[in-house]
Amino acid sequence: MRISTLLKGEKPTISFEFFPPKTDAGRESLIRAIERLAVISPDFVSVTYGAGGSTRALSFDLCKEIKGHVAGEVMSHLTSMCHTKEDIGEIGDLLWGSGIVNIMALRGDMPKNLEADSVFSDFQYAKDMISFLKSSHDFCLGGACFPEGHKETPDIKVGIEHLRQKIDSGCEFLVTQMFFDNDGYFRFVNAMRDAGINVPVIPGIMPITGFAQLDKFEQQFGVQLPSKLRDMVKSKEGDEDAIEQTGIEWSAQQCRELLDKGAPGIHFYTLNKSASTIRVCVEMGLSGRSAALGLQ
């Protein structure tokens, strides 16, 4: 089923994101995590794609394998960077032929060691690949958005005008970069609605599981951590279990408020692990889903 159709349903969607492991051990551990998460009955799961095609085969193999493990839909990520029209045409045919109709269509981050001309030869922005994919098959295409601003476009209003172009090209829904402060999400969605853009904006949530993530999230992803959360985690330095519990409670509180105030779903960045995501889902009191776990 198309994710755009799922998003028109009465219940908010629950989805999980995985990345393709590079080792057999990582793959086995991921399949176990997927099986455990399957009891939550996700509406869809997604598999990331290494920018430049570094995980091209691994990502598609995993998408196909997951289709046999979860009841929900599978969405493949795809980045345009370093790919020609011919490459994307081939990949699009392969996905369509495998029954994968949902794609998270992205540009990818500019690698430090390459020239912009070689990286963006056929597709400069995600929107360019979106219109190209749409012209070959009737894919359901999602796109990325950044409620706290993107590093190349810190001005939110300018970013929203770029999103308008992405949607006009055929993007049907958006998934946000992870965030820890719901106010920024609601301000962003309101600004989109004020600009006349009405596609669903699914919040991306990642429960904090370790002390080292505090700086990494800010430095690598440009995500702001509220000082209250930072202080809570810092006060538990050295006790990773307590930090994980704080992350679960924070994310559960975020998710409850997001859904209460009308978010169309929650997309969990799982980092290929199941424990925190399952516990957040249970703390959220997802009816039916948590009962299935025997935890209610």
Q: Should residue 175 be labelled a site residue for ligand FAD when binding is judged by CB under 6 A? A: yes
Q: Which of 149-157, 239-247, 249-257, 271-279 is the region at the interface with ligand FAD (rule: CB under 6 A)?
A: 149-157
**Shortest separation between residue 205's beta carbon and ligand FAD, angstroms:** 11
Closest CA to 49 of 15, 91, 12: 91
Q: HSE on the CB side for 56, CA within 13 Å?
A: 13
Give the x/- contact pattern for ligand FAD in 177-206, rule: CB under 6 A.
x--------------------------x--
Give the x/- contact pattern for ligand FAD in 32-71, rule: CB under 6 A.
----------------xx-x--------------------
| Helix ranges, the chain (H) | 3-6, 24-37, 56-67, 85-97, 116-119, 126-136, 156-168, 182-194, 213-221, 227-234, 240-260, 275-283, 289-292
Tell me if 63 sits within 8 A of 20, measured CB to CB.
Answer: no
Q: Which of 2-10, 88-96, 111-119, 142-150 is the region at the interface with ligand FAD (rule: CB under 6 A)?
A: 142-150
Q: How many CB atoms lie within 10 A of CB 50?
A: 16
Helix axes 24-37, 56-67, angle to 10 degrees: 40
Binders of ligand FAD: how many residues, by CB under 6 A?
25
Return the DSSP state at 153: B
Beta strands in the chain (DSSP E): 13-18, 44-47, 73-79, 102-106, 140-145, 171-178, 201-205, 265-269
**Shortest separation between residue 77's beta carbon and ligand FAD, angstroms:** 3
Q: Is 17 a catalytic residue?
A: yes
Q: Should residue 286 be labelled a site residue for ligand FAD when binding is judged by CB under 6 A? A: no
Q: Should residue 159 be labelled a site residue for ligand FAD when binding is judged by CB under 6 A? A: yes
**Shortest separation between residue 275's beta carbon and ligand FAD, angstroms:** 22
User: What does the binding site for ligand FAD look like in residue numbers (CB under 6 A)?
Assistant: 48-49, 51, 77, 79, 104, 106-109, 125-127, 143-144, 150, 152-153, 159, 162, 165-166, 175, 177, 204
